[in-house]
Structures are given as C-alpha cells and as structure tokens.
Amino acid sequence: MKSQYIKKLKLPDHPGVYIFKSGKEIAYIGKATSLRSRVQSYFGRDLIATRGPLLVDMVTRADRLEFIQTDSVLEALILEANLIKKHQPKYNTKEKDNKSFNYVCITREKLSKVLIIRGRSLDKSKYKKVFGPFPNGLQLRTAMKIVRKIFPFFDDSSSKKQNVQFYKQLGLIPEENYKNNLKNLILFFEGKKGKIIVNLKKDMNVYAKKMQFERANEIKKQIFALEHINDVALIKEERGENPQDMQNPRALPSLRGLRHDSDFAHPAGFRVEAYDVAHMSGQNMVGVMTVVEGGEPEKSEYKKFIIRTQKNSNDTGALEEILSRRFRHTEWGLPALVVVDGSTAQVNVAKQVLNRYQFDIPIVGVVKDERHKPKAILGNEQVIKKYKKSILLANSEAHRFAIKFHKLKRAQKFLK
C-alpha cells in the first residue's frame, strides 16, 4: 500500500478504528486517538524501528484501508477489541501471543464482579460475560477507571469491610441500582451506547414522574457522562504521556488536535481546590473548600462542611470526611490540583480518598510554621514551581474562610 492512497482517503482527525485489508481478508485492526495521524505513521521512514518487521510486512501486503470513526478513544478501544474477537486478523494474532491479551470478565455471582483477566488465566466457562481481547493491559486498566465513573461496579477489592459504606454512597446498594448499572455496562462493551442513552432517558422520566428527583438526577448525570466521555487519560497515554500529570479534563473541553506539551501550558481554566479544617479543641469542627481558577479566587464555588464523624481534634479524620463528601459531587467539576493544609499525614489522607474514587489528580500540602505562615510545600516539584502562586492563594483563602465559618458556628451556638 502506498501513502498516496492514504492521502486520498482524507482520514479525520478523530478517534476511531482502522482496518488494513489484503483483498477480502482483514489483515490488521488498530485503534487511534487521531485516525489521520495514526494511519500516516505506518508510512514513515522509521516504521521498522517503531512497529517492527511484522507490521512492515502487513503494510506492504495490504491494498485497502477502511475506518470507523467513534465519539471517543474509550469507544475506539472497545470497538477494536470487538472487531479483533470477531475477525481474528492474521497480523493482530501474530503480533502478540493470545495468552498475553487481557479480557473484561463478569462473574456469575448474585452481585456480579467486573474483573480484568489475562488470557493465560482465562476459563471463559466460569464467567457470565467475557469481552476482549484487549491488546494493551495498561490502557485497559485506564479505560476501566473511566467506565467505573459512569457505571460503578464491584471488583475483587469491593468486599472489604471499609468499602461497604463507600459503595452505598455510590448507589451500588440497593441491589436493583447495581443490576441496572451492570446491564448498561454490558451494553456499553457491546458497542450499544445509543441504546443505553435511550433506556436511561426513559428511566429518568419514570423517576421524575414518581417525584424521585434525586434518583432522576443521578441518571441525568450518567447520560451527560456518556454523551461527554472524559477520556483525557487515554489520550495522554496514547501519546506516551503520564496520565497522572493530566490537567483538569473538565477545564479542557477537547484535547483532540493538540500536538505538543506546550499546548497544555497554563490553561486559563486551571482549577485549584484547597481544603482546610477549623475547630477549638475539637468543638464546632468545620471544613471548607476554596477554588482558584486561572489564578483568581472563584468565591461563588466555595463550599462549607460541618464535620459529622469526628468528636475530637482529629484534623486528618475531618479532612478525610470533607474530601469523601466533596468527591461524590462530580457535578461540581473536577480540580486540576488539590491543596491540603498540613504535612505528610494530610497529603496521604488526600491520596487515599482520591485513590478510592479513582481520580488521578496531583496533591500538594502546605506546611506552616508556628505563626501559621507557609514554610514549605510538599508534592511534585514541577507542579509546585508552575502553580506556586495559585497554591498559596488557594491555601490562604481556605484558612481565612475556615476561620470565618468556625467563628460563625461558635456564635450561633452561643446565641442558642
């Protein structure tokens, strides 16, 4: 196949799946963040170094290319797996041993678990549903984090006692909610996103008519998440960047078409959230969240929290409660950076909460001296250097706002 043929196809700069054919035979199937860029890469001078001799042979023998555009990289990844399973292309199976592929498996339990299983360990008869093969295990794990934010599911770690309350908060209990989630997750892996959205809209209207507005709103959020799939982590992974360094996906509506790291420098909507706790010997304990966006305080987005779970001067316990409550509210948007007031203990608590919710967001801690003035910032040095002004501003605002809220609570209690 010659590059002139590819130019005539006018491939879009959008995610999708590309299919190399040799006569009527499907030779190779791949997925892409940008169909145009990925397919063009097969005709570069360094193909043998970057792709290996097997794919050089495939491109030489192929005489036709077809493509399917998708709404997101996540959907391209799933479509690629479905097509590989259906057609078993010669060069996909040659390129990689079948036993090293990964599969998404749904167990046969009453409350089914969703697991990633390696091909060498897979016994398909043990599972209710099996999706795959997925060629790239790291990308699949990233994809499952994205899917889980839309359709929360149980996995092997879900049975731990400390996770029970968390899953109740996610709506996995009662059982009916979970089974609906699982049904929609299966449809999603079957490539039937349109059918899911139609079903969800019907369910939302039913709950609204029953005046169960909280449940109707939860479904509305799922519909929005499906129609605006946030796959920034997959996009960055595809480019060889670290997904943990990603900036706020909600502040960057579309990353398609961007090519260089410089495109990510200081976005105007870079959102920093800072958290602080205030109390007097454990009494009237409160917490706050402040927001600095584009270097400016966004006071309309500040939040107050009355601490419910801590009865003493446990600042880290209070911080855990605040962060756990805050990150259940994804409709508030997600920050590009989290700032906590304190040292290693506070940073570690924040990491635990964000890991529990599967959010890859950088965290820094502002350490204070005896006069409560900043003396150090803990965290990623590049992030700190780049956003030091916003970090200190957000932290200062959090301290001021927490003290103000605490004084208000004390005054209210005194007046009672």
Nearest Cα residue to 72 out of 34, 128, 15: 15
What is the CB-side half-sphere exposure of residue 284 using CA atoms within 13 A? 16
The pair of structure tokens assigned to 208 is 């609204």
- Per-residue pLDDT at 333 exceeds 80: no
> Please, is 359 exposed, middle or buried when counting C-beta atoms within 10 Å of its C-beta (0-12, 13-18, 19+)?
middle
Mean pLDDT along residues 27-44: 90
- When mean pLDDT is compared across 60-69, 116-125, 261-270, the lowest value belongs to 261-270
What residues contact 198, with CB distance under 8 A and at least 6 apart?
none
Q: Distance between CA 142 and CA 371 in Å, rounded?
A: 43
So what's the pLDDT on residue 260?
Answer: 29
So what's the pLDDT on residue 249?
Answer: 36
Residues of the chain with CATH 3.30.420.340: 271-415
Mean pLDDT along residues 262-283: 68
Q: Distance between CA 334 and CA 358 in Å, rounded?
A: 12
- Per-residue pLDDT at 246 exceeds 60: no
Helix 213-227 / helix 137-150 crossing angle, nearest 10 deg = 150
Residue 309 in 3-state DSSP?
coil
pLDDT, greater one: 128 or 332: 128
- Per-residue pLDDT at 253 exceeds 50: no
- Give the chain's count of helices (H) and strands (E): 15, 13
Residues of the chain with CATH 3.40.1440.10: 3-95
So what's the pLDDT on residue 258?
Answer: 26
Q: What is the DSSP string of 110-148?
A: TT-BEEEEEGGG--GGGEEEEEEEES-HHHHHHHHHHHH
Superfamily of chain region 271-415: UvrC, RNAse H endonuclease domain (3.30.420.340)
pLDDT category at 194 given cuts 50, 70, 90 is: very high
Residue 372 in 3-state DSSP?
coil
User: Are 200 and 184 a contacting pair, CB within 8 Å?
Assistant: yes
pLDDT category at 182 given cuts 50, 70, 90 is: very high
Where do we find the tokens 């305080």?
297
So what's the pLDDT on residue 167?
Answer: 56
Residue 329 sits at the vertex; the CA angle it makes with 290 and 285, to the nearest 5 degrees, is 50
Task: Provide the mean pLDDT of the chain.
Answer: 83
So what's the pLDDT on residue 197?
Answer: 95
Where do we find the tokens 């419910």?
308
What residues contact 49, with CB distance under 8 A and at least 6 apart?
none
The proportion of the chain whose per-residue pLDDT surpasses 90, expressed as a percent, equals 49
pLDDT category at 51 given cuts 50, 70, 90 is: low
Tell me which H or E stretch contains 369: none
- Per-residue pLDDT at 129 exceeds 70: yes
So what's the pLDDT on residue 245?
Answer: 39
The proportion of the chain whose per-residue pLDDT surpasses 70, expressed as a percent, equals 82
- Per-residue pLDDT at 291 exceeds 50: yes
Helix 315-326 / helix 344-356 crossing angle, nearest 10 deg = 30
Class of the 3-95 domain? alpha beta
Q: Distance between CA 287 and CA 403 in Å, rounded?
A: 9
So what's the pLDDT on residue 243?
Answer: 44
pLDDT digit string (tens) for 81-114? 999 999 999 888 765 555 678 999 999 988 899 9
For the whole model, what pTM was predicted? 0.58
So what's the pLDDT on residue 251?
Answer: 33
pLDDT digit string (tens) for 61-81? 999 999 999 999 999 999 999
So what's the pLDDT on residue 261?
Answer: 31
So what's the pLDDT on residue 55?
Answer: 83
